């Protein structure tokens, strides 16, 4: 739910990479600008590739570890809030009986579980106002975390240490505030704020902590205090609990005008120009949308000849088929649509081509499991370290911990497709969905045949949080498959996802929208699955009501804001059809977003109900222009 990406506010999916867009429109080798990755020779496949299911079954047999089993049990105790037991189970690892004893390979997990447990106990003690105990527990937590850095340089917990240490510093700050140690509390608050701000995570601070900090600053106001208070005001919506917390002590802050950043004028300027293929594609598309040129077919044919590896190739092929159909070249048009359906069955345009030919697109997917490899000679030492640990943790069914290790292995061109397939499957087992989807996307860009299979379909379209989705879809009278399709595109099921414009969680809810939906909701709760889905589905329902059930318009408004969609509709007129409307969307982000959700909806419907949609009419209903629709109060541009 982001706003006007042309103004420079780019959503997290853009940062996530073009590969995730290919997850949006999915995946033929010809979409990659560098072309398809050369396939291994048959001899390499025979020596390295094994059936994927056999490799997964071998995990439990080949990667059993007593250490991971005990660590897994300790982590389960922590998850069940049995913190003392978690600390007890982790202690033999963290504190070997003899200094001469070999260091356990999972000693960092032992220290991390102790850290998390001590922190949780400290947070509980804060609620009980046992401030001296808080100081003791927080000190033990920090000691445990520092042990990770000392003993395990390759630990995955070293990278997010800034946020983790900040969470303990906030607890220490609140405790010392309760003990009337104002200067010490202020020091801890500002350390935590700095760590979190550097990670763009200031929204994780609860309103009570801001209230305590403001109370300390009120007693001894200084420039540092005022800087942080103004940062809070700039970070959160004016009506949020977080801003209200500081206004109790500093009401004058609300009257201060918003500071506009200074922009120096220079004597030189950089001019952006489109790539040659982009310029040619835009010109041909304009002819197609205007339906005014007899040279449209020639333009598309020339484009595909001159730019055979363009990222626009799949779209161009669809519009070539459309142009041939308009020229009454029915056999040629059918041939183009058939080729497109076969080449890219999991894309939005492959779906449109299948609907044109009335051929079942699911028949393009093979039923066989692809071959995979559990190793790759190009792995770096650190990657091999994290891979082995993830395998051992999965074998012990410690899936949450395996996901932590797997996030340290990034897909890259130097890794074989067979290994990436195995790595993607490990991420799926560990429910590390965002990374898994990125890997399967990369395989699709390479033209890897293993993706165009029933296995690939299940891997690319996972079903997460579906019980919650059904619950709140029913409350808001929404189609749960539509909500599932939107969440896949918004966050790839990552509860912690956040965009550069501030959208948060599974449905990428903007804080201002959340507060207009539930005025008393603390912003950090948007990272909780249930709170996020509850707010997001309520807002989606408002948009669907505004656009009289037109799903495509509501989805476009969810991404770009309803005011932008209203402008587009005014420009193109109410008589436009679904495909032409999507192509006419001027925001690349929104155009790809709407198309991808439609693609998601088709395949999720097929998976969940067994039905194969023969039309996309449910996404496009003509608007009754005589009856104005109510505007949702959302603050979008």
Which residues are catalytically annotated? Answer: 490
**Separation CA 376–CA 413 (nearest Å):** 12
Burial code (b: 16+ CB inside 10 Å, e: under 16) for 559-576 equals bbbbebbbebbeeeeeeb
Q: Which two tokens stand for residue 518?
A: 């539930």
φ/ψ of residue 455, rounded to 5: -60, -45
Beta bridge partners of 451: none
Contact assessment for residue 205 and residue 524, using Cβ atoms and an 8 Å cutoff:
yes
Cα gap 474→468, rounded to integer Å: 10
Q: 103 and 151 in contact (C-beta within 8 Å)?
A: yes
The rounded distance, in Å, linking the Cα atoms of 241 and 209 is 11
How far apart CA 126 and CA 197 sit, in angstroms, is: 24
CA distances (Å), origin 480, targets 468, 487, 524, 534, 535: 9, 11, 25, 12, 15
Q: How far is CA 455 from CA 37, 351, 421, in A?
A: 21, 18, 11
Pair 593, 554: CB distance under 8 Å: no
DSSP letters along 558-616, please? HHH-HHHHHHHHHHH-TT--HHHHHHH-S-HHHHHHHHHHHHHHHHHHHHHH----S--
| Nearest one of 381, 313, 396, 380 to 29, comparing CA atoms | 313
Helix H or strand E segment including 372: strand 371-372
First to last CA, the chain: 11
CA distance 31 to 310: 6
Length reported for the chain: 637
């Amino acid at each position: 739910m982001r706003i006007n990406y042309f103004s420079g506010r780019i959503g997290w999916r853009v940062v996530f990479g073009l590969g995730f867009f290919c997850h949006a429109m999915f995946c033929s080798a010809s979409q990659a600008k560098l072309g398809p990755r050369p396939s291994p020779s048959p001899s390499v496949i025979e020596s390295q590739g094994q059936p994927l299911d056999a490799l997964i079954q071998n995990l439990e047999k080949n990667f059993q570890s007593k250490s991971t089993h005990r660590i897994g049990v300790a982590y389960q105790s922590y998850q069940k809030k049995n913190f003392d037991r978690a600390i007890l189970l982790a202690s033999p690892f963290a504190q070997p009986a003899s200094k001469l004893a070999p260091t356990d390979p999972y000693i960092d997990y032992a220290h991390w579980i102790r850290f998390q447990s001590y922190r949780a106990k400290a947070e509980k003690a804060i609620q009980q106002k046992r401030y001296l105990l808080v100081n003791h527990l927080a000190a033990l937590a920090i000691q445990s975390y520092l042990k990770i850095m000392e003993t395990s340089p390759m630990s995955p917990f070293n990278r997010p240490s800034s946020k983790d240490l900040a969470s303990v510093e906030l607890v220490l700050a609140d405790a010392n505030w309760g003990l009337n140690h104002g200067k010490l509390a202020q020091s801890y608050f500002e350390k935590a704020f700095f760590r979190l701000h550097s990670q763009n995570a200031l929204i994780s601070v609860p309103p009570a902590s801001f209230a305590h900090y403001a109370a300390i600053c009120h007693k001894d106001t200084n420039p540092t205090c005022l800087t942080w208070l103004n940062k809070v005001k700039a970070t959160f919506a004016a009506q949020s609990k977080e801003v209200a917390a500081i206004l109790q002590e500093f009401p004058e802050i609300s009257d201060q005008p918003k500071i506009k950043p200074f922009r120096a004028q220079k004597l030189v300027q950089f001019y952006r120009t489109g790539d040659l293929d982009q310029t040619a594609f835009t010109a041909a598309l304009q002819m197609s949308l205007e339906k005014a040129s007899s040279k449209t077919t020639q333009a598309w044919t020339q484009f595909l000849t001159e730019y055979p590896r363009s990222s626009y190739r799949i779209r161009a092929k669809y519009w070539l088929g459309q142009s041939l159909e308009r020229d009454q070249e029915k056999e040629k048009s059918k041939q183009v649509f058939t080729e497109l359906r076969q080449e890219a069955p999991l894309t939005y345009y492959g779906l449109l081509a299948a609907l044109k030919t009335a051929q079942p697109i699911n028949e393009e997917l093979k039923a066989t499991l692809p071959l995979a490899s559990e190793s790759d000679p190009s792995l770096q030492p650190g990657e091999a370290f994290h891979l082995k640990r993830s395998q051992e943790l999965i074998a012990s069914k410690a899936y949450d911990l395996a996901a932590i290790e797997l996030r340290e292995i990034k897909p890259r061109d130097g890794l074989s497709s067979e290994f990436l397939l195995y790595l993607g499957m490990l991420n799926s087992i560990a429910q590390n969905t965002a990374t898994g989807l990125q890997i399967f996307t990369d395989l699709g860009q390479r033209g890897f045949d293993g993706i165009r299979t029933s296995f690939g379909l299940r891997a690319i379209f996972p079903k997460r949080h579906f019980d919650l989705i059904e619950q709140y879809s029913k409350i808001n009278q929404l189609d749960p498959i539509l909500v599932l399709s939107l969440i896949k595109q918004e966050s790839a099921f990552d509860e912690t996802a956040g965009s550069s414009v501030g959208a948060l969680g599974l449905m990428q809810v903007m804080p201002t929208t959340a507060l207009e939906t539930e005025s008393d909701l603390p912003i950090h709760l948007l990272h909780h699955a249930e709170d996020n889905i509850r707010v997001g589905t309520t807002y989606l329902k408002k948009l669907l009501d505004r656009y009289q059930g037109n799903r495509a318009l509501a989805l476009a408004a969810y991404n770009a804001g309803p005011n932008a969609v209203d402008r587009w509709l005014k420009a193109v007129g109410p008589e436009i059809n679904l495909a032409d409307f999507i192509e006419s969307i001027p925001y690349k982000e929104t155009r790809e977003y709407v198309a991808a959700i439609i693609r998601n909806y088709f395949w999720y419907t097929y998976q969940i109900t067994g039905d194969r949609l023969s039309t996309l009419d449910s996404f496009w209903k003509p608007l009754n222009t005589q009856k104005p629709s109510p505007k949702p109060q959302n603050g979008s541009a």
